[in-house]
Amino acid sequence: MGMLSVLKREALHTGGVALYLLFAFGIFTTLKKLVLATHQIEFSAIVPAVIGALALAKVVVLLDMTPVAARLDTRYPIWVATLYKTLFYCAVSAPVLFAERVWHAYRETGALGEAVLEAWKETDQNIVLARVITVGLVFACYHLYRGIDRRLGQDKLWRMILSRE
């Protein structure tokens, strides 16, 4: 298999995961915007949703290739593998999401140490919990779909969803 075909396959896979994450985060962002609108609070998070989806898509694709993910898929029922993989992916994604906050703080402060302290100091536990729940739900749906699709046969579930019969 040539390098170009490998790159194309990986781009399609990462792009598909990124589109799913962007769609899911878009739904949660819209819900957040609607809730805040009832209190006359303006909110826009399109750019963070896109950046978060792209960053987490790469994390998901890389974690999907790990032996841990493969072992969970082969040794456990779909629901157990989904639960374990969701917890594992959330644990790995937490530092990525924190690094995103550090990056924004670094752009303002210009010093990495100060940016880490600023990001940590500005972290609201309620917001962190809400993000963990959101990302966990998104990952759980992803793993459940992928697990069922893998057991039925590659892309068979998608064809079933789109077919009329």
pLDDT score recorded for residue 80: 94
What per-residue confidence (pLDDT) applies to 1? 61
What is the per-residue pLDDT for 141? 94
pLDDT at 9: 77
Query: Which residue type, as a one-letter code, is found at position 70?
Result: A
Burial class (CB in 10 A: 0-12, 13-18, 19+), 121: exposed
C-alpha gyration radius of the chain: 18
Residue 76: its pLDDT value, please?
Answer: 93
Residue 23's pLDDT is 92
Give the start-to-end residue ranges of the domains of the chain: 3-162
Is the separation of the CB atoms in 73 and 119 below 8 Å? no
| Low-confidence spans in the chain with pLDDT less than 50 | none
